[in-house]
Amino acid sequence: MAQAVPDSVLAETAWNKRRLYALSNRIGPSGTDYDLTLPVTAPAHSEEIGEIPELGEDDVGQAVEQTREAAKEWREFSVDERAEVLTKFANLAADNRKELLDLLQLETGKSRAHALEETIDVPQNADYYADKGPGILATESRASGIPFATSAEVQYDSKGVVGIISPWNYPLVLSFADAIPALLAGNGVVLKPDEKTPFTALRLAELLEEAGLPEGVVTIVTGDGPTVGSAIIERVDYLTFTGSSETGKIVAEQAGRNLIDCSLELSGKNPMIILDDADVEEAARGAVQGSFTNAGQLCLANERIYVHEDIYDDFLDEFVSQTESLELGADFEFDADVGSLIDSDQLERVQSHVADAVESGATVHTGGNARSEIGPYFYEPTILTDVPATSLPACEETFGPLAVVESVSSAEEAIEKANDSDHGLNASVWSGDRERAKEIAREIESGTVCINDPFLVGWASYDAPMGGVKESGIGRRHGPEGLKRYTEPKTIATSAVGPLGPIPGVPDELFAKGFSAVSNIQRRLNQLRR
């Protein structure tokens, strides 16, 4: 078992070692004992809070097969009955928000305000699919080849078992935003959370069963990423992955070899365009939110900020001022604005990006220092200018509390710079003229573009798809697209006149002329209706 956590850490939360140990026993296929080998640490406190099993390939195979068997019962539920389970789950997730907040902060070190976003998102996402999902999955009539003589309809069948590999930065949202629609479609789910943050996913799986999901339809597996992740891809019928572009390419290659479809949300290097008619104070507030939410460990974060030269100085002053007012902290109250980075690797990445930029001639306007007196992985929100195009923060995703600000002379220059990237996940445009901002948004190569908001207005539009272009991924979550990806569309076509083709007793040449004439009439009628 894990070493005891000092009372000063867990005593402030709704959790204790016994409850976390009970959650860890839900990992992997049922009826199997494991040696607990992987520690889980509270990064803001550098204290071990629990341990989880390190599963092997055979364990994952058994988990997938048990999930496949359990999903047979789940598929017997009507879509409306599955939606009712999601509604109950949404209510349970909302009712247990405080303990989920505590657990999120323990595992990730994020501030309570930023953890709150996740605990609000999951119930809303479940409510959306419970409300809209049955209609999205309903059998659809489609235009047939020969009106009146034939008909066609499409039904949406489940895939089978969906594999979900989710990251550590948003362990509630980026696992269950994908699991919820997969379940509504009638699939079983094998979920691999990051080994740094397993307990939040385990708690939500527990709440799903409390809401009425049959036992075993969602199975949590943990362990070494390459081993467990690869074993999942080898055995499931569909895969969802959220992570880096480099790993995403490996995942896509393996999925392709197994002829299974996948959706990938990958890295971002997101631009923020601030036009000359933007409200400076509002734009600066958005830049703070977009750059430093979750200590910048957000795939939707704006790391590149392009500001029109006419308001550049005013914006930079306001941005720096608002950033310097942020409070760093690790407590379980709402008084801290920015929390911890996840671990030493992430801290080292941020430090190396800042150091490389400064050595190349960049200017630090605020921040630029680790704050070990607060916690082992805290880093100040940092604003840089004069960053060379060849430096690390200009070329790579930092994934930390670092924003690069640059002056541009026109909207056209801002668009060109925004599009000069291998990534295209999220972007934002800021202007007092929303229609002008929308016109610019249409020119930006990105899966989502937000107007006068850094990312939440896009993410919270649950009926609209979200995902990336270029190296930021393939596929979409949210909306009808986020549900139908977990289905196999099946066409059922019917003839009211028997086999289509030559009619017995009618000469082939006469049939061909008649069929051609009917086809031409049908085409002309279709053209007139356009």
Which residues, 6 or more positions from 289, have their beta carbon under 8 angstroms from its beta carbon?
A: 454, 456
What's the pLDDT score for residue 6? 44
Q: What is the predicted pLDDT for the residue at 60?
A: 96
- Determine whether 262 is an active site residue: no
Q: How is the beta sheet containing 270-274 ordered, strand by strand?
A: 363-366, 382-385, 402-408, 302-308, 270-274, 426-430, 448-451
Q: Which residue type is seen at 28? A: G
Cβ burial of 343 (10 Å; 0-12, 13-18, 19+) is middle
From the list 118, 265, 318, 380, the catalytic residue is 265
Q: Which pLDDT value is given to residue 421?
A: 96
How many of the other CB atoms lie within 10 Å of CB of 312?
20
pLDDT at site 36: 66
| Residue 474, phi then psi, degrees to nearest 5 | -135, 150
pTM of the entire predicted model:
0.95
Active site residue 299: yes
pLDDT in tens, the chain (530 residues): 223 334 568 778 999 989 999 999 999 998 677 776 899 999 999 889 999 999 999 999 999 999 999 999 999 999 999 999 999 999 999 999 999 999 999 999 999 999 999 999 999 999 999 999 999 999 999 988 888 889 999 999 999 999 999 999 999 999 999 999 999 999 999 999 999 999 999 999 999 999 999 999 999 999 999 999 999 999 999 999 999 999 999 999 999 999 999 999 999 999 999 999 999 999 999 999 999 999 999 999 999 999 999 999 999 999 999 999 999 998 899 999 999 999 999 999 999 999 999 999 999 999 999 999 999 999 999 999 999 999 999 999 999 999 999 999 999 999 999 999 999 999 999 999 999 999 999 999 999 999 999 999 999 999 999 999 999 999 999 999 999 999 999 999 999 988 988 888 988 888 888 888 888 888 888 888 87
Domains of the chain: 57-266+481-487 (3.40.605.10), 270-467 (3.40.309.10)
Q: Rounded to whole angstroms, how far apart are CA atoms 25 and 331?
A: 28
Instruction: Determine the pLDDT at residue 521.
Output: 83
The catalytically annotated residue of 299, 380, 397, 450 is: 299
